[in-house]
Amino acid sequence: MAVLNKIRQRSLFLILIIALALFSFVLTDLFKNSDALFGGSQDVVATVNGQNINRVDFMNRVENMRRQLGPTATNTQAMNRVYDQQVRRAVMTTQFEELGLTVEEDQMRDLLEQNFSAYPEFQNEAGLFDESKLTTFIANLKEANPEKMLLGNFQLNYDEWVSNENSIATIAKERSYYNMVKAGVSATLNEAEVDHMLENSTRDLKYVQIPYSTINDSLIDVTKADIKAYINENKKQFEVEASRDIVFVEFKEEPSLKDEEALKSDFDRLINGKLEFDNTTNDTIRVQPFAQVKEEDLAGYVNLTGESAQSYNDSFIKKSLLPTVAADTIFNLNVGGVYGPYKDNGMMKLTRLVAETTVPDSAKVRHILIPFIGANRAGIDAQSEEDAKKTADSVLAIVKADNSKFPELVTALSSDQGSVANGGVYDFHPSTQMVKPFSDFEFQNNVGDIDVVKTQFGFHIIEILDQKGSSKAVKVATIARPIEPSEETIDDVFTNASKFELAIQDGDFQTMAEERKLVVKPVNNIKILDENIPGLQAQRPIVRWAFESETKVGDYKRFTIPGGGYAVVQLTKKSKAGLMDPENASASALSEIRKEKKAQMIREKITGTTVDDVAKNQNRPANTAAAVNMKNPTISGAGLEPEVVGVAFGLNEGDTSGLINGNRGVYMVTVTKANEATKLDNYQAIANRLSAARLNAAQTKVYNALKETADIEDNRSRFY
């Protein structure tokens, strides 16, 4: 009771303590989520010139983009594509607003007519565009919203129609904007004259070059301070994004030798006969061995569910199409012989030679293709399959009765545009060139044979015109099973990854890996929006983890990797956005710094004021270069040297320059002859050429310049 009384007496004090604790908890959460504290929005993917790109709309666009790009596209690829589109729209919208550039109602109607005049829904009885039908369609679409209506081959609702209208208007405004820009970038006649002079005015030179390579790199002392100074003098060259360096150890779920041996043992039941449960007798029976199966039963035997990952192919093939690792052995088996099990392309296989024959090496045929609805590349005017077969049979009867009609029927009926111009002929080709039913007919029949053959493209009326050569071909049946890690192997991989994680809690990452004979792989300079980690493929989770504020240098984490298995990753370095540090910059900065220091050393050793004096003093040859121009400032024997050529063009004939620091060495030049370009009566042709080049590049260059100067805040890494 005494304790309860004391609590009651100090209840106000306790309330204050609890309140402070709650306040502290809230503050902690706020500081962890700085956006909530300082007003940043959790729903903004990016801000461009003050315009927000909304998260929900952005993610919907990304999902649509993924569907457009197909199954091989990653989420990051789709996200980047949408981001570029949205940034472009925002950047250009800023320009439109500043210029007051709009699309008025009349212009919008014209644009809609241009885009939708071919749609039957908006055409009158004469096939002409009817604006009233467009107006009615939009009104009905608005009334039915959010329900969708059919337009052409797709469905859309009113909101999607409005979005489409906005896109059409944006494209029109962009076109107007760029047309105005292009109107101001045409080259003048004066610019054309300068271009002509740069290209056709030349100088003949006598020069001496003292290459930087005459001084060994080991004689040049480059300090960290030198590199820092060079970085500061060339800041734009060394500006970098924030980046991370990591190391990782990979634990792949790969089949072990034990797994392979177990699979080989499993093939014994196919070699010696396999056991199956017979529902009729309610008992287990032994099925005959692979080698004893009748040829007509092979398809069912091989294709039995769960038995083979490779279907039976009832065709003769050349040796070149057999698995490389076993081609010689299989090709030389006796009919009925079985080879295996053997490994091939991640599979364990057992192959039986079913039959052998002699087939032509190449065939020449002609054909008429009658497509049907649903066939590959069939046009909108294709017949039903039943009608197409009737047409093909009729054509077959005609050409069998009168072979000379074949070419005209090709022209009139065949949909294979690749052969129509040749009368339907495909010249000599191997058996691998055509699809299987087509190839089987032309290589398993005789010259002069003609028949209807169905493929995925339609019905072919094929005539074999000629065959060349002959060689052995075989028919094989192959049972193939993927070599996969067993549950035991998968468990071992997980155990090994877990043990390594435990070991690096108290030990060095590299040391612990070496003790376990694991390979540590470094990956440097990872950017915040990177997706692929070399050696691990697409691994956004690793990149996001490396850039989380809570992740510190030395931290590690285990990640699941594509294809099965794990990667234990350690963060080794954080680099902020800004100027590259001297260590990373040294690779590109060292050569330039050495070049500057070598130039100074060379200058200090040179005496003489003429090319010949310097050449003699430095024991270097005096060279000549003829017809050097400013448009392509290359000196024969020295390479691209714009600085040297620029100095030469500032000299009069007979003048000698001072020492010049070039790309590959220190130079002195004498202009032995100055050839001025002949003036033209008219420079319009050159002006036209320059204008065309500028116009082609204008749109890209203008947008890139606008984007570079835009105020862009990119928050994509929060969401992807």
Helix axes 257-272, 487-506, angle to 10 degrees: 180
3-state class of 432 per DSSP?
Answer: coil
pLDDT for res 405: 92
Environment class of 141 (CB within 10 Å of its CB; exposed 0-12, middle 13-18, buried 19+): buried
Within a domain: 705: no
Within a domain: 121: yes
- Whether 295 and 347 map to the same domain: the answer is yes
At 98-118, the pLDDT tens digits run 989 898 888 988 898 888 888
Within a domain: 692: no
Sign of CA dihedral 512, 514, 519, 522: positive
- Whether 556 and 653 map to the same domain: the answer is no
Average pLDDT over residues 560-585: 90
- Whether 250 and 261 map to the same domain: the answer is no
Within a domain: 58: no
Asked if pLDDT for residue 554 goes beyond 60, the answer is yes
Both tokens assigned to 349: 């296989």
Within a domain: 398: yes
3-state class of 97 per DSSP?
Answer: helix
- Whether 169 and 230 map to the same domain: the answer is no
What is the band of 37 on the pLDDT scale with cuts at 50, 70, 90?
Answer: very low
In the chain, the percentage of residues whose pLDDT exceeds 70 is 92
CA separation for the pair 713, 79 (Å, rounded): 16
Asked if pLDDT for residue 392 goes beyond 90, the answer is yes
More confident residue, 105 or 572: 572
Average pLDDT over residues 555-559: 95
Average pLDDT over residues 575-598: 88
CATH number of the domain where residue 530 is located: 3.10.50
CA separation for the pair 341, 263 (Å, rounded): 9
* 3 state SS for 464-505: EEEEECCEEEEEEEEEEEECCCCHHHHHHHHHHHHHHHHHHH
At 684-702, the pLDDT tens digits run 999 999 998 888 888 889 9
Environment class of 571 (CB within 10 Å of its CB; exposed 0-12, middle 13-18, buried 19+): buried
- Whether 353 and 405 map to the same domain: the answer is no
- Whether 176 and 227 map to the same domain: the answer is no
At 140-199, the pLDDT tens digits run 988 888 888 888 777 888 988 988 888 899 889 988 998 888 888 888 999 999 999 999
Question: What beta strand segments (E) does 517-593 contain?
Answer: 521-527, 532-533, 537-538, 556-560, 565-575, 578-579
Both tokens assigned to 575: 């680099």
- Whether 227 and 249 map to the same domain: the answer is no
Return mean pLDDT, the chain. 87
Write out the residue range of the structural domain in which residue 493 sits.
243-254+485-576
pLDDT for res 293: 86
Query: Domain tally for the chain?
Result: 6
- Whether 410 and 456 map to the same domain: the answer is yes
At 475-505, the pLDDT tens digits run 999 999 999 999 999 999 999 999 999 999 9
CATH number of the domain where residue 376 is located: 3.10.50.40
Supply φ then ψ for residue 286, to 5 degrees.
Answer: -95, 125
Last residue of a domain, one of 358, 391, 420: 358
CA separation for the pair 363, 441 (Å, rounded): 10
Last residue of a domain, one of 518, 551, 576: 576
pLDDT for res 278: 58
What is the band of 38 on the pLDDT scale with cuts at 50, 70, 90?
Answer: very low
CA separation for the pair 480, 485 (Å, rounded): 16
Average pLDDT over residues 5-22: 48
What is the band of 23 on the pLDDT scale with cuts at 50, 70, 90?
Answer: very low
> What is the rounded radius of gyration, in angstroms, for the C-alpha atoms of the chain?
38
Q: What is the DSSP letter of 677?
A: P
pTM assigned to the model? 0.67
At 52-75, the pLDDT tens digits run 999 998 998 899 888 888 888 888
Please answer whether residues 674 and 653 qualify as being in contact, where contact means their C-beta atoms are separated by less than 8 angstroms.
yes
Within a domain: 193: no
pLDDT for res 35: 46
459: nearest Cα among 377, 381, 375: 375
3-state class of 323 per DSSP?
Answer: coil
Within a domain: 604: yes
Last residue of a domain, one of 516, 551, 576: 576
- Whether 366 and 463 map to the same domain: the answer is yes
665: nearest Cα among 599, 620, 567, 573: 599
Average pLDDT over residues 514-537: 92
Within a domain: 286: yes
In the chain, the percentage of residues whose pLDDT exceeds 90 is 55
